[in-house]
Structure 1
Amino acid sequence: MNKSSKEFLYKYLDNASPTGFESSGQKIWLEYVKAYTDDYITDTYGSVAAIINPEAAYKVVIEAHADEISWFVNYISDDGYIYVIRNGGSDHQIAPSKRVNIFTDKGVVKGVFGWPAIHVRKDKNEATPSLDNIFIDVGCETKEEVLDLGIQVGNVITFDDELMELNGKYLCGRALDNRIGGFMIAEVARRLFENQVKLPFGLYVVNAVQEEIGLRGAEMMAARIKPNAAIITDVCHDTHSPMYEKKRDGDQKAGKGPVLTFGPAVQNNLLKMVMDVAESKDIPYQRAATSRSTGTDTDAFAYSGEGIASALISLPIKYMHTTVETAHLEDVEHVISLMYEFIMQLKDGHDFSYLK
């Protein structure tokens, strides 16, 4: 990873990009990737596609999603405490004692998720964090004080955590799901540019919004671009970390390579090509299966319009939907390499159909 890539990685991942409020992160992403692409398009809700060879009729997408889970201010009590609802799949159990940023029209307000001390809990039934009892303290004693800070119902809230490295091998932080995907697809564009690759087809590098609440941004971009094929990247679980059940959750481990998923939404001819590329280029990969949908933007592309040949390349991470999501640096590089090598060998006009 060169210096400019690393600077982009930290700037982009440390920036807050809650679902529905992704615009600041999208600006950072676009400013970086547009140097390596020919054109770009945006839509009403903030999804972006940076395009190489935009005049081509045959279109290929590589895609990630830009949003992170967060909270909304839902209720302010008379004594100045703030109660929340989820924006996406936020985990109420990790909230107590976390620092937060509340985004208001007056700027960011700092706060903390409070929690009663263990001294007053240990001799009673142990209280469990839930949406009914977690609360934020911003140092106010009345509702009026909270309102004076600019805090209102509907303000979005993120945890206050930054990216770091563990043991020189892992990246750790909030919102790797899935801004690390946005980083990886941007690096594919950079590599194509720096290697002076002339593609015979149009490549749409898509960073979509609102995945965490139902793949909404991807649905809009799939309908607009109408690509011939789409490679989606997202994250999946490292099931070798404690408390997973491999019989149920599969067998994937961070550091052993990208995870390729089998399932109805995944187009098998496209998936086979991805696997062939991995094997021919000695890129390690793992396998996973899903019984119905993938739960990622793959589904939005696969079932858009008349159907788009779609495949999923996942980055295995530990501790998904926490503030310490953890990915192996070698896996990040291998995902980038696999997408790049796939693009390099794809022929213009390739037909992935099962029946011809």
Structure 2
Amino acid sequence: MSKKQKSIFTKESLTFLKNYLNNPAPTGFEKEGQKLWLEYLKPYIDDTIVDPYGSAVGIINPEAAFKVVIEAHADEISWFVNYVSPEGLIYVIRNGGSDQAIAPSKRVNIHTEKGMVKAVFGWPAIHTRLRSGDGKEPQPKVDNIFLDCGARSRKEVEDLGIHVGCVVTFEDGFEELNYDYYICRAIDNRIGGFMIAEVARLLTENKQRLPFGLYIVNAVQEEVGLRGAEMIAKRIKPNVAIITDVTHDTTTPMINKNIEGEIKCGGGPSITYGPAVHNILRDLIISTAKKEKIPHQLHAVSRSTGTDTDAFAYSNDGTPSALISLPLRYMHTTVEMVKKDDIEQTIQLIYHTLLNITPKTNFHYL
């Protein structure tokens, strides 16, 4: 998509994006986010599926025998309450790939049956840390970070409705930054759910009639091992799957391009090479990008993609699958950052790729 073209976003779609990102949907507890997503998607689909663990699917042409999936994951990293000290301090364990290094001084919400309880990740002041005696500053670790909700005893914590197993999410919400950047927690990968919903909207508004069934999948529990994708892939049994997730912008400090490759925000969507990625489908995506003059980047993985692509690719009898990723800075922090142009170009790439697939497309290597 040329940068001179009019934005494909509408006022309604941007409002949905903000609400969807701001709504917490921690791994295993994605229910409320899935409700928002399905409500937005409803005008553009013919039918829905919601599996027992909460993966949500919007379907266009549900009667078609040939099935194509476009997929993202709905969950965000978070924490579980693991132990409450006699003094009322709350210790946590990870729910997904939460980063203890960013936790100190962060505001959080503890999800309880009584509602949200506000708390903070406490941390000793620099003055006291430097007086530890051994000359070494303590570093944040999962076993030494803690939450302070204002309670000063275990009973006061319990009176707020907090117990072992309550999930904890960071408070940080959506903001627009300079030069068309968006920041928020949980852009990984709530932005993917937004993008595939926008593809469905464009198909409807442009009156495109696909010659196959399109399954728009927002899977749960990616952050703990691609579990939602594993389950829903078995249920749908697609013929083709296009996955979208985020990938690292490797142009920021302390990232080794010799290892991670070079991907940058503003360079367009990233298309992945790797064993799980189907060569014919990937080449179709690349040729579509070139034909439509959509800026794009290339990325290679040595084994797995680490995304739901792997779950779909190796499901059933093998499903031709490919990965289109959105460049993102500061993954698994509360200031994940993406560029608006990249989002629009990723939507356009998925949209135009779908228009180039038919049930007669040959995805066999031999």
Match of 1:100 among 91, 102, 108: 108
CA contact (8 A) 1:13 1:175 kept: yes
Q: Counterpart of 2:60?
A: 52
Confirm whether residue 37 of structure 1 aligns to residue 45 of structure 2. Answer: yes
Match status 1:180 vs 2:191? yes
Task: Determine the C-alpha separation between the residues in 1 that align with 2:344 and 2:239.
Answer: 26
| Equivalence for 1:191 | 202
Q: Which amino acid aligns with 2:208?
A: V
Cα distance in 2, alignment partners of residues 126 and 321 from structure 1: 24
Matched residue SS, 1:315? strand
Matching of residue 335 in structure 1 with residue 341 in structure 2: no
Q: Count residues in correspondence.
A: 355
- Shift of residue 309 of structure 1? 0.1
Any residues of structure 2 matched to 1:117-266 within 5 Å, and which?
117-124=125-132, 125-266=136-277
Equivalent in 71, 79, 86 of residue 71 of structure 1: 79
Task: Show structure 1 runs of 5+ residues with no match.
Answer: none
Q: Which runs of 5+ in 2 are unaligned?
A: 1-8
User: C-alpha offsets along residues 103-126 of structure 1, whole Å, 9 cap, x if unaligned?
Assistant: 001110000000010111124421
Deviation at 1:217, TM superposition (A): 0.4
- d(CA) in 1 for partners of 2:234, 2:123: 45
TM-score normalised by length of structure 1: 0.99
Instruction: For residue 96 of structure 1, report the CA deviation from its aligned partner.
Output: 0.3
Q: Which of 284, 289, 303 pairs up with 1:278?
A: 289
**Residue of structure 1 aligned with 2:306, choices 295, 304, 308:** 295
Deviation at 1:196, TM superposition (A): 1.0
Structure 2 SS opposite 1:179: helix
Kindly report the root-mean-square deviation, in angstroms, between the aligned alpha carbons of the 2 structures: 0.7
Greater shift in the superposed pair: 235-244 or 344-353: 344-353
Residue 26 of structure 1: SS of its match in structure 2?
Answer: helix
Rounded to whole Å, the distance in 1 between the matches of 2:332 and 2:115 is 25
In structure 1, the partner of 2:16 is: 8
Distance 2:360 2:88 in 1: 61
Match of 1:320 among 320, 331, 354: 331
C-alpha distance in 2, partners of 1:351/1:11? 40
Deviation of 1:349 after TM superposition, in Å, equals 3.3
In structure 1, the residue corresponding to 2:244 is in which secondary structure?
strand
Q: Determine the C-alpha separation between the residues in 2 that align with 1:175 and 1:208.
A: 14
SS of match in other structure, 1:157 = strand
Contact map agreement 1:58 1:349 (CA 8 A) in 2 = no
Secondary structure, counterpart of 2:327 in structure 1? strand
| Paired amino acid for 1:156 | V
